[in-house]
Amino acid sequence: MTCCNRNRNRNRNTGTGYGSSTEMRTIIRLVATCLLLALLPVANAAEPSTVLITGANRGLGFAFAQQYAARGWNVIATARNPEAAMALRELADKTGRVRIERLDATDPASVDNLGNRLGGIPIDLLLNNVGMLGTEPEQQLGSIDPTKFDTYMRVNALSTLLVSQRLLANVKASRQKKIAGMSAAVASFAAYPRTHHGLYYYKASKVALNMIMRNLALDTEPDGVTVVVLSPGVVNTYGVPMDERMRGMVDIDTSIAGMIKVLDDVKPADTGKWYRYTGEVIDW
Ligand SMILES: NC(=O)c1ccc[n+]([C@@H]2O[C@H](COP(=O)([O-])OP(=O)(O)OC[C@H]3O[C@@H](n4cnc5c(N)ncnc54)[C@H](OP(=O)(O)O)[C@@H]3O)[C@@H](O)[C@H]2O)c1
């Protein structure tokens, strides 16, 4: 005797319960659907988030990769030369959470190839970290070189625009939908110290990045994407303990943990803002 037959008999025999077996099946289906719907968010919440970090083979990018992997995120870490990215490869082996991808963020073909390899993977957080500070002497008044200026612009500003444009659909397909760019406080007109000379290419290219991010925020607001700019502080990325000579600098773990907290906390209403690693909003 099947289960349904048994139910039908029980209903007929006792005259109690839920009436016909059709009604019973409807109720069971309803209860099952409710249970499934109640469990769905739990299942989604358990799914790890994904961060894509550009320039993750060293410096702040690598520290971001370490901390996000430690938090159980899926990390897509890009490097211009993955074969030489030994620390990143070790992190990938150790954690099993890091996928290493080749990317020259200034090269549209390389950016497009990355997009093709990733396909439709949702990216909760696109962390555009690639950048260059360069040296002081090559950026002083008297030594301005248009080719170098172009290089800084491509690395510090264009790269973020190219990568964000190509991976926007992946961000939109995610739950968190966040895009960050890495700027520097010396690019703020409002907070700019009158004593800080030089660094023409660096400052100009980070100002350009800021406007790119503001524009991106505007364009992606209707899709619920949160676009923010970050300033890490002047960070000790030298891999040595902080000492007296580093007064005014911030230790790398503090800077990264602060920026991760900012990125955790920001909501769509915060799109287009610029944050210091401490959480303070920076005036443009
Ligand atoms: N450290 C600070 O105190 C500080 C302060 C303010 C802002 N920032 C910003 O924070 C970000 C990270 O800084 P950091 O100190 O960690 O820099 P970093 O140690 O110099 O690392 C820069 C990263 O960018 C990558 N990169 C450079 N050009 C690239 C290109 N064309 N395509 C792909 N990757 C490229 C480098 O790859 P390779 O190894 O292949 O060169 C490296 O992974 C930068 O945007 C920087 O301007 C840093």
- pLDDT at position 236, please? 87
In 3D space, the residue among 178, 217, 237 whose CA is nearest the CA of residue 51 turns out to be: 178
DSSP string, the chain: --HHHHHHHHHHHH--SSSSHHHHHHHHHHHHHHHHHHHHHHHHHHSPPEEEESS-SSHHHHHHHHHHHHTT-EEEEEES-GGG-HHHHHHHHHHS-EEEEE--TT-HHHHHHHHHHHTT---SEEEE-------SGGGSTT---HHHHHHHHIIIIIHHHHHHHHHHHHHHTSSS-EEEEE--GGG-SSS--TT----HHHHHHHHHHHHHHHHHHHHHGGGT-EEEEEE--SEE-SSS---GGGTT-EEHHHHHHHHHHHHHH--GGGTTEEEETTSPBPP-
Q: Which of the four pLDDT bands, split at 50, 70 and 90, describes residue 244?
A: confident
Over the stretch 224-239, which tens digit does the pLDDT of each residue have?
Answer: 999 999 999 999 888 8
Q: What rounded mean pLDDT belongs to the chain?
A: 88
- Domain edges within the chain: 3-39, 49-276
CB atoms within 10 A of CB 179: 26
Q: Which of the four pLDDT bands, split at 50, 70 and 90, describes residue 170?
A: very high
Task: State the fold for domain 49-276.
Answer: Rossmann fold (3.40.50)
Average pLDDT over residues 78-87: 98
Average pLDDT over residues 197-218: 97
- pLDDT at position 197, please? 85
Average pLDDT over residues 253-260: 97
Average pLDDT over residues 184-201: 87
Q: Which residue puts its alpha carbon closest to atom 18 of ligand 1?
A: 59
Of ligand 1's atoms, which has the minimum distance to the CA of residue 156? Answer: 45
How remote is the CA of residue 117 from the centroid of ligand 1, in Å?
A: 23
Helix (H) or strand (E) holding 178: strand 178-182
If one compares 195 and 165, the residue with the highest pLDDT of the two is: 165
Average pLDDT over residues 153-163: 98
How remote is the CA of residue 56 from the centroid of ligand 1, in Å?
A: 8
With a Cβ cut-off of 6 Å, ligand 1 is lined by 55, 57-61, 80-81, 103-106, 129-133, 155, 159, 182, 184, 232, 234-235, 237
Q: Which residue puts its alpha carbon closest to atom 45 of ligand 1?
A: 131
Substitution site in 154, 237, 251, 253 for ligand 1 pocket (most atoms within 8 Å of beta carbon): 237
DSSP secondary structure letter of residue 155: I
Give the N- to C-terminal CA distance of the chain in Å, as an integer. Answer: 76
How remote is the CA of residue 271 from the centroid of ligand 1, in Å?
A: 24
Over the stretch 95-112, which tens digit does the pLDDT of each residue have?
Answer: 999 999 999 999 999 999
Over the stretch 18-77, which tens digit does the pLDDT of each residue have?
Answer: 445 556 565 556 555 545 445 444 445 578 999 999 999 999 999 999 999 999 999 999
Q: In the chain, what percentage of residues exceed pLDDT 70?
A: 83
Of ligand 1's atoms, which has the minimum distance to the CA of residue 233? Answer: 5
Average pLDDT over residues 168-188: 97
- pLDDT at position 213, please? 98
Which SS3 state, helix, strand or coil, does residue 193 take?
coil
**Tokens representing residue 237 in the block:** 């990325």
Substitution site in 80, 83, 151, 240 for ligand 1 pocket (most atoms within 8 Å of beta carbon): 80
- pLDDT at position 70, please? 98
How remote is the CA of residue 201 from the centroid of ligand 1, in Å?
A: 15
Q: Which residue puts its alpha carbon closest to atom 47 of ligand 1?
A: 131
93 pLDDT higher than 90: yes
Q: Which residues contact 169 (CB under 8 A, 6 or more apart)?
A: 120
Over the stretch 138-157, which tens digit does the pLDDT of each residue have?
Answer: 999 999 999 999 999 999 99
Q: Which of the four pLDDT bands, split at 50, 70 and 90, describes residue 240?
A: confident
Average pLDDT over residues 241-259: 91
